[in-house]
Structure 1
Amino acid sequence: MSAHATPIPMTARRSGPLKGVAEVPGDKSISHRALILGALSVGETSVTGLLEGQDVLDTAAAMRAFGATVTRHGEGEWTVNGVGVGGFAEPSQVIDCGNSGTGVRLIMGAMATTPIAATFTGDASLNKRPMGRVTDPLALFGAKAVGRAGGKLPLTMIGAAEPVPVRYTLPMPSAQVKSAVLLAGLNAPGETVVIEPEATRDHTERMLRGFGAEVDVQETPEGRVITLKGQPELTGQRVAVPRDPSSAAFPVCAALLVPGSEITVPGVSRNPTRDGLYVTLLEMGADIAFENPREEGGEPVADLRVRYSPDLKGVETPEDRAASMIDEFPILSVVASMAKGTTVMRGVKELRVKESDRIDAMARGLEACGVKIEEDEDTLIVHGTGSVPGGATCATHLDHRIAMSFLVLGMVSETPVSVDDGGPIATSFPIFEPLMSGLGASVSRDNS
């Protein structure tokens, strides 16, 4: 079932060339952080371009539950009147984070050093995902978590009454864990230090500085060392959210694969910690031009001009690139199936603990569509032949990116591809259907 409704079976079929402008939604990672940092600030934060997918709406509701005033003024235009660092009130109700691993983990971090208790839950998918990777480092501050076996939701977090600063080395690349520790460090005295041996997306560090925190980042032999000075007074800001490169990946990859296509995707984030897919696509021979480079909301952005690329080749993605494209491997595996030759994706074990086991979900669905796949715990190998038979109904496992990836596959496979439930797409890309249809794609709901 979908996160919030009955299943929505969907099918994608071959169509003519994709043409036009793809106005993809705002970046989900930045939208979450704008709401949370606005709630931890003094004064008003105004946000434009906020992604209004269900994941972000759940974070907005959570910030209200902790005492902030969060108001929608129009499409993508919101304000947050915050309570300041350490000012969260104890919520009177359970905090339901829906499908959002980013939301729940960042919110846990934000409240972990305030002496309040909060109970968190989510949908069937989120309640299967591991939270110990966040609750373990938050325990170092003095917070306590009580929940189901394996640290799974629902669980109650009891914030530290007398938090202490922490020095923590990430055991695996995770922007969510890094961000949770940094947000917890805001209300701890002294300096909180996070060491990441492999760099992950850096939106939290950028935005913390923008709201007035002192954050120092050093590249060292042991990795990237991020030092946050605790107990700052954050001040409300104006945040312009750039367009989400993870959402842009779907129309971009569809245009690369559908003969005769040419589209423009304006204002997409080019943050180097999020750019791995686009680096990989260029290596495969994709015709993508990055036009009008500029900065918006502290983030580098550009307009993408994308043309059909008939001569895509298989490549190998190095392990150290995985963190910069971790959400894009599902759609990359679709591109790889239509490329000629073998694509080897290394360093992808994090995909096994996302909204679903994305390696297994993509491997099983691609196999059902006639693609030869190999996998192990940390590697996915796709043997592309330039065409895919299709014809399968693929299980999405409540995962929005799995659903959208297989619908893109259906746009280029020899026979249509269906998904058992397109409902979760609303969590990150609520306008996916009308946007793709507006470009010329044939995507339909099977029960409508």
Structure 2
Amino acid sequence: MGSIKIYPNKLNGKVKIPPSKSMAHRAVICAALGDGISKISNIDFSDDIIATIEAMRALGAIINNISEDSIEVKGINSKDILSSREYERVIDCNESGSTLRFLVPIALAFEGVTRFVGKGNLGKRPLDTYYEMFDEQGINYTYKEDVLDLVTSGLLKSGEFRVKGNISSQFITGLMFSLPLLEGNSKIIITTELESKGYLDLTLSAIKDFGIEIVNNDYKEFVIRGNQKYKSQNYRVEGDYSQGAFFLSADALGSDVKVVDLKEDSLQGDREVVDILSRMGASIAKGEDGFVAKGNELNSTLIDAAQCPDIIPVLALVASLSKGRTEIINAERLRIKECDRLKAVKLELNKLGAKICEKEDGLVIDGIDELSGGIEVWSHKDHRIAMTLAIASTICKDPIIIKDYECVSKSYPHFFDDFKMLGGCFDEWNVGK
């Protein structure tokens, strides 16, 4: 277990934001399903991305690191790989929900038995959407409650797939990856209002870049022609708004950081951080190579988490230092992330002096003038909680200690390197395993 003591200090300088984890997952999968050799550049080897790389290796792709931020991928459908594919494989998803939900239907596009394992809260994330699909299609499967140990065998069949839109879009993305590979045509029908459209836009953009066509009928249904092939290519992953949100929020709270390598016209749903901070009173300026957010007097606003759940923890921090009452709505899905993020945000920020009340599907936050610090807080072993608390330290009166801070490796392994480079001052220590 590791702890880090951070001393209050504003951040200053320029930081290159890591590549989008969402787009890196998608690029690795598309390249691994390809018919030749692809090069994927600007990759950060976070725990989640490593899980997806290893998953695609388990399915038969040959993936080699060729530099500190790029890989070469020989796709599963390359002619010389087809005959050597393993028919019994284990896919270790670690704690990556994207890896699990993307790979379940992908694995069913190939012959063989697949066992999915993982750790942390991943076994508690619901997979009922897939279980219902398995029952309808006669796919064999076994699983354990609250622990990820899912075994599947059988082949996915083309056809109509009715999926609720108010659950994780990862189920829909998983089907979008796999259905074009099947012999017949398919259709995904969305049966409720669709949340997280931005993530589906990312999927549609990635698979289009790799040669796959899906017809989007106003997000109500997706029409997918079978017998398509992923075309190998070179691909650069764009910067990640969900990570940029931490430093943009630090700016809004008084730091002076230029945030570099964020695509202004990105399809990422977490780009909403720019609009939300602007509504709260921060001045967002876009230069030639990045954004800067200047924190004027900040005011409360209504934040809808439906399309951007990953930026809610750090926005809750900003709301805590904004005048008036901020309400965060449609955030129930944050309860089944690496931890219950609504509960964790309330508990840990309130320790620092914030005034946050928890609702079933959101938070109510009354703004205060300053945070106190001088106390130990806990990351709940969740990368986004750890990074939110680190940004909180920049505006505390006294130092804070964050327990289990190393969990940032899940998505942003070099976060504290960047934090230090920008002027963050801290001491680290380990107290056993």
Give the TM-score normalised by structure 1. 0.88
Match of 1:158 in 2: 153
Paired residues of 1:109 and 1:138 also in contact (CA < 8 A): no
Kindly provide the CA deviation profile for residues 9-43 of structure 1, in whole angstroms up to 9, marking residues without a partner as x: 1232211x422211121110111111111111100
Who is 1:3 aligned against? Answer: none
Query: How far apart, CA to CA, are the structure 1 residues paired with 2:290 and 2:220?
Result: 30
Distance 1:170 1:59 in 2: 25
Q: What does residue 123 of structure 1 align with?
A: 119
1:424 aligns with 2:407: yes
How is 1:435-446 mapped onto 2 (pairs within 5 angstroms)? 435-446=418-429
Alpha carbons 2:163, 2:172 under 8 Å: kept: no
Q: Give the letter for the 1:28 counterpart.
A: K
For residues 142 and 78 of structure 1, do their structure 2 counterparts lie closer, same or farther at Cα, with a shift above 3 Å needed? farther
What is residue 172 of structure 1 aligned with on the other side? Answer: 166
State yes or no: 1:313 paired with 2:296. no
Question: Greater shift after overlay, 52-61 or 225-234?
Answer: 225-234
Partner letter of residue 105 of structure 1? R
Partner residue of 1:357? 340
Aligned-partner Cα distance in 1 for 2:75–2:161: 28
Using the TM superposition, give the Cα deviation of residue 70 of structure 1 relative to its aligned residue in structure 2, in angstroms.
Answer: 0.3
| 1:187-198 superposed matches below 5 A | 187-188=181-182, 189-195=184-190, 197-198=193-194
Distance 1:133 1:254 in 2: 38
Give the CA RMSD over aligned residues. 2.3
Q: Conserved in 2, the CA contact under 8 Å of 1:21 and 1:266?
A: no
> Equivalents in 2 of 1:192, 1:49: separation in Å?
33
Partner of 1:107: 103
> Counterparts of 1:287-298 in structure 2 under 5 Å?
287-292=283-288
SS in 1 for 2:277: helix
Which of residues 232, 236, 239 is equivalent to 1:236? 232
Shift of 1:336: 0.9
CA offset at residue 175 of structure 1? 2.4
Matched, 1:278 2:271: no
- Aligned-pair distance for 1:272? 5.3
Residue 40 of structure 1 aligns with an amino acid whose one-letter code is: L
- Structure 1 gap ranges (5+): 1-6, 293-302
Q: Give the number of equivalent residue pairs.
A: 422
1:13 aligns with 2:7: yes
* Alignment partners' CA distance in 2, 1:271 and 1:44: 26
**In 2: Cα distance, 1:444 partner to 1:130 partner:** 38
4+ residue segments displaced more than 6 Å: none
The residue number in structure 2 matching 1:218 is: 217
Distance across 2 between alignment mates of 1:142 and 1:41? 28
Which residue is equivalent to 1:184? Answer: 178
The 5-angstrom pairing of residues 52-63 of structure 1 reads 52-63=45-56
Q: Secondary structure at the match of 2:397?
A: coil
Q: Which residue of the other structure, out of 326, 331, 337, is the alignment partner of 2:309? A: 326
Identity over the aligned pairs, expressed in percent?
27
Residue in structure 2 matched with residue 82 of structure 1 by the alignment: 75
**Are the equivalent residues in 2 in contact too, given 1:411–1:442 (CA < 8 A)?**
no
In structure 2, relative to structure 1, the CA distance for the partners of 1:216 and 1:171 (3 Å cut) is: closer
Unaligned runs of 5+ in 2: none
Residue in 2 that maps onto 1:413:
396
* One-letter amino acid of the counterpart of residue 396, structure 1: S
Question: Following TM superposition, by how much is the alpha carbon of 1:330 offset from its aligned partner in structure 2, in angstroms?
Answer: 0.6
The Cα of 1:434 is off from its aligned counterpart by 1.0
Answer yes or no: is the 8 Å Cα contact 2:283–2:296 preserved in 1: no
For residues 103 and 292 of structure 2, what CA distance do their matches in structure 1 show? Answer: 37
- Say whether the 8 Å CA contact 1:14–1:442 is kept in structure 2: yes
